[in-house]
Structure 1
Amino acid sequence: MCGIAGSLATFGNSDEITHSLKKMMSAIRHRGPDGDGIWLDERRPVGLGHVRLAIIDPEHGKQPMVTEDGRFIVVFNGAIYNYLELRRELIGKGHPIHSYSDTEVLLYAYREWGERFVDRLLGMFAFAIWDKHEQRLFCARDRIGIKPFYYHFDGRRLLFASEIKAITADGGVKAQANPDGLQDYLTFQFCLNEKTLFQGVDKLEPGHCLSAWYEGETLKVQTRQYWDLHYNIDEEHDERYFVDTLSGLIDDSIRLHMRSDVPLGAHLSGGLDSSAIVCLASRMLGGEKMNTFTGAFNEGPQFDETGYAKDVAAFAGTQYNEIYIPASNELADMLPRLMYYMDEPLAGPGVIPQYYVSQLAAKHVKVVMGGQGGDELFIGYARYMALYLEKCLSGAIYQTANQNRYAVSLESIVPNLPLLATYQPMLQGLWKNGLFASYDQRYFSLLDRSEGMAQLFNQGALHSGSGYSSFESFQRIFNRGEMHSLVNRMTYFDLKGSLPALLHVEDRTSMAASIESRVPLLDHRIVEFMATIPPNIKFAEGRMKHLFKESVRSAVPQSIFDRKDKMGFPTPLTQWTKGVARDFVRDTLLSDRARQRGLYDVTAVEKILGNEREFGRVVWGLLCLELWHRIFIDGDMKPSGI
C-alpha cells in the first residue's frame, strides 16, 4: 500500500513542482514509510510523487516506475492480485518485465492494452500513468472503491492524491467547507457520488477513470465510468449451483489475496464474515500459523466478542492477538488524531476500535485481511429485513404479494423475524410516518441520520443555494433501472453509497498504522456473481446471508452459525460521552469557537448532551464535524502524536 500525488499545470517550473510534490508527499508519509520518489517531465509542468509501503517485491518495486523505453511513468496505490498471471502473458508478448512487482505488470499492461487494460485487473487500485510521448495522463480507481483517489482542477492546474490533506498541503488549494457535502454528511454521515466535504476537491468515483491532456497551452480533464454492476438474472440454475460457485469464487479470492512477500494476518471479530476468511485462509496455509487480531471493550458483554473470536482462532489454529481498547479518558487526544487521518468525518464510532486493532496488527504484520463487504453483498443488515417486513405487510393487506416475480410473502419470512427483536428503535423510527410509501422514501428513512441533528444547526447552514437535495441524489442511485427487486435496489445503493464510506475508514485506519488492508469478499467477480442470482434465492424467505452461510458452512465452527447477537463492533460511545469524556465533549461543542462558527444552535446542542440514547449518532456526528472544522478549515496544527 502506498500514497500517490501528482501535479499537471499550465505554469510553473521544475523547482516549483518539486517543492509542491514534497509538501503533498509529506502529508501522506504514513501511507508509505519505506521509500519515496518524484518524477518530472522536462517538456511540461508535470510531476508525479510516491511514498511506498513495500509489500510485493520490496527490492524492485520502487516508484515512480518508468518503462524501459522511458515513455510511460506510473504511480500506483493498491495491489493487483492476478499480477503473476498477467506477468506471464505480457512476457509472452515480448514485454521486458524484469521484476516480480505488480506495479511493473500494471505499467506494461497499459502499454499492451491501452485504457481497457483496467478490465483485466483483479485487485484494489488507484493509479496515474503519464504517457510522455502523447503528453497524456490516465488515472483509474478500482471498481468497488477500496483505494482512494482525490483531485482538484481549476482550469489551469490538476492536483491529485491518495488523501485530501495532500491536496490542501500544496498551499494552492484553500480548505473550505462544501455546503452540498455538508448536507450529505448530516443526512448519511458520508458524501454521495464525487462530492467531499471540501469545496473544490472531488473524489474519483469507484469504477471511474480520469484523463488529462494538453491542447496547446490549455489543460483538459475528463472523467468517465468504466464499470458498473448489472443485474442479468440467471434463471437456468438452482440454489446448489449458486452455493457451489460462490464457494469456489471465495476460495479463489482468498488464495489470490494471500499473495504477499511480507507477513500477512487477518482481522477477527467473531462475526461470520471475518471468521470465514480466517478459517479458509488458515486451511490454505496448512501447518503455518496465521496471526489474527481482535479488539473489545471492558464496558460490558454487549461490547465484547472475544469469546467467539477465540473459538474461531482455536478452530482454525491461528496465533490469537487481542486488545481491550482503553476507556475514553484519552478521547481528547485520540479523536482529533483520527479525524486528521480520516480527512473527512465518515460513518460511525467503529472507526475507534478499527484504529486500535490496526495498531495492534502493525506490531506483527504488514498485511491484514478483513471481512468488509459481507453485509452489503450477502444481505446481512437488519434494515433489509425491516423494509421487507413492511413490503410483505403491504402485500398481505392489499393482496399484491404475487404481483412481482421475485416476491417474498409474509408467511415465508415469519420464522426469520426474531432477527429484529433487538432493533425496536429502528422499527419505531421506520413506522412512525410514511408507512407503505414508495420504496425509495422508505429506504431513505432507514438511512437518514438527520433527525435529531438538523435542528441543532442554524437556519441556512444546511443549504448552499444550489438547490441540491441529498434525497434526489439518493433516488438517482436507488431507482436505477433493471434492478428486478427491492433487495437489489437496497444493496446496490449500499454498494455505491455506504460501502465506500466504510472502505474509507478501512483504508485510513490501516494506513495510519502503515499496514495494508485487503478485503477478499469484495473481489469484483464475487460482486458481479451475486448480482446474477435470482432475488428469491439469495434472500430466500428473508434468511440473512443464506447463500454465504451455505458456501462456507463446512469451514466455520458451528458456534458462529448459532449466534443470535449480531454486534458489528459496537462502541460504548454514549457511556464515554456521559462519563469520562463528558468534559471533553462539552468543552468542544459548547466552546467559544463552536459558538463563533455560526453553524450550530449551541443552546439546542447543550440540551441534547447527556440525553442521547445508547448507540445514537447525534453527539458523535457533531463532535467529529467540529473537530474536522478545527483541524482542516481553521487550520490548526497537526494533532499531537502525529
Structure 2
Amino acid sequence: MCGFVGLLGHNSESEEAGAVLRRMMASIGHRGPDGEGEFREISPRIHLGHRRLAIIDPEHGRQPMSTEDGELTIVFNGAIYNYLELRRELLRMGHPIHSYSDTEVLLYAYRQWGEHCVDRFLGMFSFAIWDRRNRRLFCARDRIGIKPFYYAFDGRTLAFGSEIKAILASGVVKAEADRPGLQDYLTFQFCLGDKTLFKNILKLEPGHCMTVQFDGDRLSLHTRQYWDLRYEIDEGHDERWFVDHLAGLIEDATRMHLRSDVPLGAHLSGGLDSSTVVCLAAGLLQGERIKTFTGAFPEGPQFDETGYAKEVSSFAGTDYKEIYIQGSELPDVLPKLMYYMDEPLAGPGVIPQYYVSKLASEHVKVVLGGQGGDELFIGYTRYLVAYLEKCLAGAIYQTADQHRYAVSLESIVPNLPLLQTYRPMLQGFWSKGLFDAPDKRYFSLIDRSEGMNHLFSNDLFSSGYSPFESFQQIFNRDGLHSLINRMTYFDLKGSLPALLHVEDRTSMAASIESRVPLLDHRIVEFMATIPPNIKFAGGRMKHLFKEAVRNTVPKKIFDRQDKMGFPTPLAQWTKGVAREFVRDILLSDRVRQRGIYNVNAIERAIDSEREFGRVVWGLLCLELWHRIFIDGDMKVNA
C-alpha cells in the first residue's frame, strides 16, 4: 500500500520538473512513510515518484522498480494476493525475479503477458509501467476500484497520481469546481463515471486501463475497459450448491488477504460482514491472536455496537481494542478529513472510520474489513422497498408471472417486518411516482438532491448535464435480467467506489493498509451468476451470504435484526457541541459571497436537520472542500 505520482512531457528543464515531482510526492507523504524514490528520463521527458508503506518483502520492494535490463519501470499501489503463485509461474518461464515482492511479480507479469496481465491479478491495484523501448506508459486500476488513480491531460503534459492533491501540486491544472461533478455530488454524494469535483481532473475508472504513447514530443492517450460484470445466469445448480460454493470462496479470499510480512489486524463493527471476516481470519491464523478495532459514540445505544463486537471478539479469541469518538472534536477533525479525502464523498461514516484507522495504526500496519457486503450480498433496505413496490404492481396488474425471475407478493410478506422503522422512507417514496418505470423508482430512492436543491442557486444546475441520464446508462445496461441485478449493479459502479474512496483515504491518512476480502473479484463474479430468485429469495436480504456463514459467526450476530451500519450522531453534534462550528462555516461571509448558496434556506436547514439526515453534512463538506482546495486554504494541519 503506497502512493505514486508521475509527469510525462512536462515542458521544463529536468531540474525544475524534478522539483515539481518532489512537491507532488510531498503532498501524499502520509501514504508512504517508509521510504520514497524517483525515476527520471530526459528524452522523452518522464518523471515517476513513489512513497512506500512497506507490507510485502519490506527489504526488497522499493519503488520505482525496474527490470534487470532497465526496459520497464513501475510505480504501484496495492497488493497482488496471488503473487506467490504468479512468481512460481514466471520463474518457470525464465524471468529473473529475485525478490518476494508483489511489485516485481507485477512488473514481470507485464513483460510476459503485456496488457493482459491485469486478467491474472487477484488483488487491489493501481499502477503505471513505463515501457522504454516502445515509449509507452501503461496504467491500470483494479476491477472493483479499491485503489485510486487520477490524471490530468492537456494534450502535451500528463500528470497522474494516487490522490488529486498531487495533481494540483504539479501545476498542470488549477483547482476549479466542475459543474457536472457538483450536480452528481448533490444528487448521489459521489460522482459517476470518470468525473471528479475538479474540472479537468479525471479518475481512471475501475476495471479500466490507460495507454499513453509518445510520438516524438507529442502524447496520445487512450483508455479502455478491460473488465465488467457478466450476468451469465447459472441454471444448473440449486441453492445448496450456491451456498457451499460461496462459503468456499469467502474462506479462500480471506486466506489470500492474510498474506503479509508485517503485523495484521481487522476492523470489527459487530455487523455480519466484519464479524465474518474476523471469525474466518482468526480461525485461519492458527496460533496467532488477531487484533480487532472497534469504534462507537457515547451519545446512546443507537450509536454503539460495542456489545456485539465484544461478543465476536470473545467468540473468535481476538485482542479487542475500542475507541469512543467525541463530537467536540469535529471542528478540528473535519477539515483534516476533507483535505485527506480530496473531494467529499459518501456520508459521515468517514469520521468513525478515520478514528478507528488511527487506533489500528498504533498496533498494526494492515487491517481487514467487511466493506462491500451490502452491495454484493443484497443488504440495503432500499432493495426490499423497491421490490415491495414491484410485487404490489405485479399483484394488482396480474403481471408477476410475466417476469422470469419475479419475486411474488406472497413470498415477500414474511420479510416485511424489517421495514417497521422505515416509515419516513416509505412515505416519501410512495408520495409520488408510484409504479413508474424501475429506473425512475430506484433513482428516487438514492436521489439526495430533493432535500438539497433549494439550498443552492439555480445557476448551479444550468450546465445542461443530467445526473439521471448518467444513472440510466448504468442501471439500464443490457443483460442484467432482473431488478435486483440492476440495483446492485448500479451500486457496484456508483456508491461502492465512493465507499472504497473513504476506505482508502481514512486508512492512508493513518498510514495503514486496508484490505477488503469480501470484494475479491471471484466472489463478485460468482454472485452475478446466481439466479435472482435464489439470491434474493422472497426479498430476504443477504440470504445466501447468511447461509454461507451460518456456522462461522456467533448465533447472536447471525440472528441480528437491528442493522446499524456505523451511524454517526451528526444531527446531535450540529445542534449541540459543534453548533457554533457549523453555523460559523455555513452562515459565514465566504458562503454568502460564493454565489452558489441560498443562505437563508441553509439556516432553516441547520435548525431542522433530522436524525441521520445528510443535508447539513453535504453542505458542510462541500464548503470545507471549497475553502481547502478552490480557495487555496490547503495548509491544513493534517
| Common topology (TM > 0.5) | yes
Q: Equivalent residue for 2:217?
A: 217
Where does 1:180-259 land on structure 2 (aligned, <5 Å)?
180-259=180-259
Deviation at residue 638 of structure 1 after TM alignment: 2.1
Q: Is residue 395 of structure 2 the alignment partner of residue 396 of structure 1? A: yes
Deviation at 1:343, TM superposition (A): 0.3
TM superposition outliers: structure 1 runs of 4+ over 4 Å: none
Opposite residue 462 of structure 1, the aligned amino acid is F
Distance 1:39 1:145 in 2: 26
Task: Report the AA paired with residue 22 of structure 1.
Answer: R
Give, as a single letter, the amino acid of the residue that structure 2 aligns with 1:102. Answer: D
Matched, 1:410 2:409: yes
Q: Report the residue type matching 2:391 in the other structure.
A: C
Confirm or deny: 8 A CA contact 2:9 2:217 kept in the other structure.
no
Aligned partners of 1:270 and 1:306 also within 8 Å? yes
The aligned counterpart of 1:336 is 335
- Give 1:330 shift: 1.9
Q: Does 1:428 align with 2:420?
A: no
- The residue correspondences of 1:592-607 to structure 2 (distance < 5 A) are 592-607=589-604
- The answer (yes or no) to whether the contact 2:372–2:519 under 8 Å persists in 1 is yes
Instruction: Note if 1:515 corresponds to 2:512.
Output: yes
Alpha-carbon distance in structure 2 between the residues aligned to 1:368 and 1:612: 34
**1:16 Cα offset (Å):** 2.1
Aligned pairs for 1:34-433 within 5 A? 34-326=34-326, 328-433=327-432
Q: Offset at 1:610?
A: 1.3
The one-letter code sitting in structure 2 at the alignment partner of 1:379 is I
1:500 Cα deviation (Å)? 0.1
Which residue type is aligned with residue 346 of structure 2?
A
Name the CA distance, whole Å, in 2 between partners of 1:128 and 1:17: 18
Question: How far is 1:95 from its partner?
Answer: 0.4
Matched AA of 1:523: D
State the AA in 1 paired with 2:457. Answer: N
Deviations 1:446-477 (A, max 9, x none): 0000012100101212232xx21000000000
Deviation at 1:48, TM superposition (A): 0.6
Cα distance in 2 between the residues matched to 1:52 and 1:424: 49
- Tell me if structure 1 keeps the 8 A contact 2:383–2:484: yes
Find the residue that maps to 1:195 and give its secondary structure: coil
Report the more deviating stretch, 216-225 or 493-502. 216-225
Distance between the aligned counterparts of 1:563 and 1:126, measured in 2? 37
Residues 476-504 of structure 1 show CA distances to partners (whole Å, capped at 9, x for unaligned) of 00000111100000000000000000000
One-letter code of the match for 1:460? D
Report the aligned-residue RMSD: 0.7
Counterpart of 1:558? 555
Q: Out of 469, 472, 493, which is 1:475 matched to?
A: 472
Distance across 2 between alignment mates of 1:373 and 1:576: 28
Aligned residues: 638
CA distance in 2, matches of 1:555, 1:372: 18
Aligned 8 A contact 1:6 1:47 in 2: yes
What SS does structure 1 have at the residue aligned with 2:420? helix
Shift of 1:42: 3.3
- Gapped runs of 5+ residues in structure 1? none
Q: State the shift of 1:160 in Å.
A: 0.4
Question: In 2, Cα distance between the equivalents of 1:278 and 1:459?
Answer: 48
For residue 259 of structure 2, what is the amino acid of its counterpart?
R
- Secondary structure of the equivalent of 2:37? strand
The 8 Å contact of residues 50 and 63 in structure 2, kept in 1 or not, is answered as yes
Give the SS at the match of 2:400: coil
Alignment partner of 1:505 out of 502, 505, 513 = 502
Alignment partners' CA distance in 2, 1:304 and 1:140: 40
Q: What's the secondary structure of 1:415's corresponding residue?
A: helix
| 1:396 Cα offset (Å) | 0.6
Q: Given that residues 136 and 212 in structure 2 are in contact (C-alpha distance below 8 angstroms), is that contact kept between their aligned partners in structure 1?
A: yes
Please state whether the residue corresponding to 1:472 is helix, strand or coil.
Answer: helix
Report if aligned partners of 2:157, 2:172 keep a CA contact under 8 Å in 1: no
Q: Distance in 1 between matches of 2:269 and 2:235?
A: 36
Partner of 1:574: 571
| Aligned partner of residue 61 in structure 1, secondary structure | coil
1:193 and 1:205 in contact (8 A); partners too: yes
Corresponding residue SS for 1:468: coil
Structure 2 letter corresponding to 1:165:
K
Give the secondary-structure state (helix, strand or coil) at the position aligned to 1:182: helix
SS of equivalent to 1:112: helix
Shift of 1:12: 2.4
Provide, for residues 275-322 of structure 1, a one-character-per-residue CA deviation record: whole Å limited to 9, x for no partner.
000001101112310000000000000000000000000000000000
The aligned amino acid for 1:90 is: L
Q: Secondary structure at the match of 1:609?
A: helix
Identity of aligned residues (%): 74
Name the amino acid aligned to 1:583.
Answer: E
- Hey, what's the Cα distance between the residues in 1 that align with 2:419 and 2:211? 47
CA distance in 2: counterparts of 1:614 and 1:622, whole angstroms: 16
- Partner secondary structure for residue 459 of structure 2: coil
Write the distance in 2 (CA, Å) between the matches of 1:468 and 1:517.
35
Q: Structure 2 length as normaliser, TM-score? A: 0.99
The 8 Å contact of residues 152 and 172 in structure 2, kept in 1 or not, is answered as no
CA contact (8 A) 1:136 1:214 kept: yes
Aligned to 1:546: 543
User: In 1, distance between residues paired with 2:432 and 2:399?
Assistant: 21
Question: Structure 2: 5+ residue runs without aligned partners?
Answer: none
Task: Point out the more displaced range, 629-638 or 73-82.
Answer: 629-638
Q: Give the drift of 1:10.
A: 5.9
One-letter amino acid of the counterpart of residue 334, structure 1: V
Q: Would you say the 8 A contact 1:180–1:463 is kept in 2?
A: no
> Counterpart of 1:534?
531
Contact 1:276 1:556 in 2 (8 A): yes
TM-score of the aligned structures, taking structure 1 as reference length = 0.99
Which of 618, 627, 634 does residue 631 from structure 2 map onto?
634
Equivalent of 2:486 in 485, 489, 495: 489
CA-to-aligned-CA distance 1:566-615 (integer Å, 9 cap, x gap): 00000000000001111100010000001000110111111111111110
Q: Please tell me the residue identity of whatever aligns with 2:415.
A: N
Shift of 1:218: 1.4
Deviation by residue 1:60-79 (Cα, 9 ceiling, x = unmatched): 00000000011000000000
Cα separation, 1, equivalents of 2:169 and 2:12 = 17
Code of the residue aligned with 2:103 in structure 1: it is T
Paired with 2:386 and 2:488, the residues of 1 have a C-alpha distance of 12
Which residue type is aligned with residue 231 of structure 2?
Y
Written as runs of structure 1 = structure 2, the 5 A alignment for 1:445-460 is: 445-460=444-459
